[in-house]
């Protein structure tokens, strides 16, 4: 992957250490670990609607960006408080 969104250092119980690049899914906000120079299609894909990297679990689902999901949840909570 040419432009990862983050970096992870994972320490094993036996003292080993593993480092890898990461990105956050634009639809479900899941962090996905990426091997060096891995293509986006191999780890999930690129949503053509919102142009965000998505994880393998979100491939084939309709495009609902995570921020839109949060807005819906907040609106529902506001509505419930008003009732």
pLDDT tens digit sequence for 28-79: 999 988 887 777 678 888 889 989 889 999 998 999 898 888 999 999 999 9
Distances (CA, A) of 78 to 1, 65, 66, 82: 40, 20, 19, 6
pLDDT at 15: 83
Report the predicted TM-score, pTM, of the whole model to 2 decimal places: 0.70
By the 8 A CB rule, do 45 and 59 touch?
yes
Least confident of 2-11, 18-27, 29-38, 43-52: 2-11
């Amino acid at each position: 992957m040419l432009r990862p969104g983050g970096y992870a250092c994972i320490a094993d119980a036996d003292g080993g250490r593993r480092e890898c690049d990461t990105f956050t899914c634009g639809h479900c906000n899941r962090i996905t670990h990426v091997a060096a120079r891995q293509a986006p299609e191999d780890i999930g894909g690129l949503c053509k609607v919102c142009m965000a990297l998505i994880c393998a679990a979100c491939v084939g689902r309709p495009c609902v960006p995570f921020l839109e999901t949060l807005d819906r949840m907040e609106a529902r909570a506001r509505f419930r408080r008003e009732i």
